[in-house]
Amino acid sequence: MYQELDALPKDLAEKTNLIAGFLSFFRKTLVITELEVRKLRHDPTELFTRAIQPALWMLVFGEVFSRVRAIPTGNFGYLDFMAPGILAQSVLFVAIFYGIGIIWERDLGIVHKFLASPVPRAALVLGKALSAGIRALSQGIIIYILSLLLGVHISFAPLSILGIILVIIISAALFSTLSLIIACIVKTRERFMGIGQVITMPLFFASNAIYPVAIMPDWLKVIAHINPLTYQVDALRSLMLIGGTSMYGLTFDISILIISLFILIVIGAKIYPNVAR
């Protein structure tokens, strides 16, 4: 039977201790991530349907452009050059439409209950972002398989693999939080889809994903340099390929990604409660 309703639980989160607060924050974040991963486990079909687009890019675009040899890619063949770019792209595509789910949850009313709970807003946002990172890891596996089949020179050094996982999670978290922010502003699916399409193209093409920044006109170079995708691709390229090097330095790339993620989480936490209004 229903018992001891009036016996309030020990208020664990009352701890004023900063470290305890920090731990509690991360625990809640991970619960939100767990929740999303459980959903995915009940219905993993989307992971497979998402394999189609990167496969088409590598097989059609990649194969054609590696024959044209129109793009200067240094010591690498075009497919080698492109594979990390397509990995970054598919992570971007998984993450950038994440906001649809936010709007869906808003229409259902799920968001309201989370926002009326004591879970910190930033933990809600970061937890969701990390789950987008885990979703995006499946893209990594698909690209690795495709790359192997196409003869891309992939590095399987354990540290490289770890680095790749880290970069995928951080960048998926980053772009999914950007998506969440957009969703919180536009609030309807139709408007969101429009904006999602509009920002995906420039993010992708104003980056070094499928051609080096060096061949861009100057104004586009500027955009490419403030585009986090550029640093994601740069990091992936240096980690994924045998003999791969980074243009900007791996530490710099990852720092840029983490700082961008942090800023977006702060904005996201601020704006997320708006969806319930």
> Which residues contact other proteins (rule: CB under 8 A)?
1-13, 24, 27-28, 31-32, 34-35, 38-39, 42-43, 107-110, 112-120, 273, 276-277
Alpha carbons 25 and 31: distance in angstroms, whole number: 10
Q: Which is nearer to other proteins, 15 or 69 (CB)?
A: 15
Shortest distance, CB of residue 115 to other proteins, whole angstroms? Answer: 6
Nearer to other proteins, 266 or 276 (CB): 276
Complex with other proteins: residue 1 or 68, whichever CB lies closer: 1
Looking at beta carbons only, is 114 or 248 nearer to other proteins? 114
User: Taking the complex as a whole, how short is the minimal distance between the CB of residue 48 and other proteins, in angstroms?
Assistant: 17
- Residue 200 CB, nearest distance to other proteins (Å)? 25
- Decide if 88 contacts 228 (C-beta within 8 A): no
CB of 133 to other proteins, least distance (A): 19
- Give the burial string for 220-258 (b: 16+ CB within 10 Å, else e): beebbeebbbbbbbbbbbbbbbeebebbbebeebbebbe
Ramachandran sector of residue 211 (left: φ over 0; alpha: ψ -120 to 50; beta: rest)? beta
| Residues contacting 25, CB < 8 A, separation 6+ | 120, 122, 123
Rounded distance, CA 232 to CA 124, Å? Answer: 24
Q: What is the largest CA-CA distance in the chain?
A: 74
CB 167, min distance to other proteins, A:
28
- Please, which residue, 117 or 255, has the CB nearer to other proteins? 117
d(CA 20, CA 12): 9
Beta carbon of residue 141, minimum distance to other proteins (angstroms, whole number): 23
Least Cβ distance, residue 46 to other proteins (angstroms):
11
Q: Nearer to other proteins by C-beta: 6 or 218?
A: 6
Report the residue number, 17 or 75, with the smaller CB distance to other proteins.
Answer: 17
Q: Which of 24, 33, 264 lies closest to 128 in space, CA to CA?
A: 33
Quickly count: other Cβ atoms within 10 Å of residue 13's Cβ.
Answer: 14
Cα–Cα–Cα angle for 268, 273, 274, rounded to 5 degrees? 95
CA distance linking residue 72 with residue 205, whole number of Å: 16
